Structure 1
Amino acid sequence: MNRTLVRRALLPFAAVAVFALAGCGGDEDTGSGMDHGSDTSTAGGTSSQTFNDADVTFAQNMIAHHQQAVEMADLAASRAASTEVKTLATQIKAAQQPEIDTMTAWCKAWGKPTVPAGGHDGHSMPGMMSTQDMDTLKAARGAAFDKQFAQMMIDHHTGAIQMAQEVQKNGSNPEVKKLAADIEKVQQAEIASLKKVLGQS
């Protein structure tokens, strides 16, 4: 009897302890959920809350700019005569496709389209090739292709460097500025290699 009474007396305390422990667990779950919800990082490695118009314009325009460079690089596999040109084309594509993916992720995180509302005007982006330029490159083969590819890619890279320099001055997103600085550095080195293809110092 005494043992039964003791057990009955302890039951309310046990219930209180269980509820108390459950309450603590609930607080931890809520806290972790709030922390997760406040995470604004994206696949592109940048905060969706830190950007201005210059950052958006750079990403939108550079996506199209890079896409044309990748298209030009793809032509080299079946048209170039020089191993050096083929190697440079492979390097260009390997560098620029991941950057396209990164900038696309930024636009998504910012709630912006990858193409400006008015569409892309090729002439508004320095270094962009016209449709006629691209047709001429596609029609070329061998040494003629190598020469045209090198000159066109030099012009294309020069335009990209200009765009990269502008966003480093006017942008606000640190990740955008870092990518722009990387683009400037890499493409300056590629221009030097392309000039060698043309026999320039």
Structure 2
Amino acid sequence: MTKNPMRRRAAVAAVATVLSLALAPASFADGGPVPERPVSTTSQDPQPLPTSPAAYELGEELAGLAGKELEVTFLAAIIRHHEDAVEMAKLERERGADADVRARAENIVSGQQDQIDRFTRWLREWYGLTPQQAREQAPAEAREEMAAMDQETRRRIGELRGTPGGKDFDVAFVRRIIPHHSAGIVQYLEVQSRADHHRLRQAASAGITAQQSEIEDFRARLAGGRK
């Protein structure tokens, strides 16, 4: 399927507008994000890892969908996305040293597990689908982008598991949860404004607000603004 240039520009503009409130300035070329800043490998000035390009591509795919197809594809993607966030947050809860970061990780576990349960229930009630069935019904290009995001996320979780516990683990977790949240915001954008179900639009709006707030706080921690 050929990409629609107008859809690409609209999706990129929406992403840039929303993420600019929480993220460092980013530039876009032909619809793809350029990493926000060179990623530092030093403990003195750690930077978040870049958001996966596949997240922006999935945002474009969602921008071209509507009705049932938009909702089913989004729910399939966000449920898996939240499951990965819960997995990372549980690791921080178990192995991190910073009490506040661990507390925020606990909030991620409880809040995103609640959304996983709610979204799974809505899929069943509205469309009679499990998350796996919803994923199988998604358009081919959306499935490709979801698979690319899965691969990237599994790699980053593997790196996190290989990080020693303690303060280094806190930093490694924060560097990975920031781009993960950014990818979640990209997915939320289309359903926030165009989902058929009002409850889903409300949930998307709340999700954007919550993840923006956490991104801002975690970025401040990396920059040394909060101890």
TM-score normalised by length of structure 2: 0.61
Residue 75 (structure 1) aligns with: 91
Deviation at 1:100, TM superposition (A): 0.5
Q: Within 5 A, what are the aligned runs for 1:161-180? A: 161-180=185-204
In 2, the alpha carbon distance for the partners of 1:125 and 1:157 equals 18
How many angstroms does 1:162 deviate by?
A: 0.8
Find the aligned partners of 1:121 and 1:79 in 2 and give their Cα distance: 33
- Give the number of equivalent residue pairs: 151
Counterpart Cα distance in 1 of 2:200 and 2:145: 23
Q: Looking at secondary structure, tell me which structure has more helix per residue.
A: 1
Tell me, in whole angstroms, the C-alpha distance in 2 between the residues paired with 1:72 and 1:66.
Answer: 10
Q: State, as a whole percentage, how many aligned pairs show the same letter.
A: 28
Find out whether 1:113 has 2:113 as its counterpart.
no
| C-alpha distance in structure 1 between counterparts of 2:82 and 2:212, whole Å | 15
Contact 2:77 2:146 in 1 (8 A): no
**Whole-angstrom distance in 2 between the partners of 1:57 and 1:170:** 13
More RCO (CA 8 Å, sep 6+)? 2
Shift of 1:193: 1.4
Residue in 1 that maps onto 2:174: 150
Identify unmatched segments of 5+ residues in structure 1: 1-50
| Pairs within 5 Å for 1:118-137 | 123-124=145-146, 129-137=152-160
**Whole-Å separation in 2 of the counterparts to 1:159 and 1:126:** 13
Counterpart AA for 1:133: R
- Counterpart of 2:166 in structure 1: which amino acid? G
How does the TM-score come out when normalised to structure 1? Answer: 0.68
Superimposed CA distance per residue, residues 93-119 of structure 1 (whole angstroms, 9 cap, x where no aligned partner): 111111101000011111123121178
Distance 2:137 2:154 in 1: 19
Distance 1:62 1:200, change over 3 A: farther
| Distance in 1, Cα, partners of 2:121 & 2:219 | 33
**Greater C-alpha Rg:** 1
C-alpha contact (below 8 Å) 1:53/1:171 kept by paired residues: no
Q: Which one of 168, 180, 197 corresponds to residue 221 of structure 2?
A: 197
Could you tell me which runs of 5 or more consecutive residues in structure 2 were left unpaired when the two chains were aligned: 1-66
Alignment of 1:1-201 (within 5 A): 52-109=68-125, 110-115=127-132, 116-117=135-136, 123-124=145-146, 129-140=152-163, 141-199=165-223
The residue type equivalent to 2:156 in the other structure is: D
- 145 and 121 in structure 1: CA distance in 2 versus 1, 3 angstrom threshold: farther
In 2, the alpha carbon distance for the partners of 1:144 and 1:122 equals 33
User: SS of the counterpart of 1:130?
Assistant: helix
Shift of 1:68: 0.4
Q: CA deviation at 1:143?
A: 1.8
CA RMSD of aligned residues (A): 2.3
CA distance in 2, matches of 1:191, 1:122: 27
Contact kept in structure 2, 1:69 and 1:153, CA below 8 Å: yes
Once the 2 structures are TM-superposed, how far is the Cα of residue 198 of structure 1 from its aligned partner?
0.7
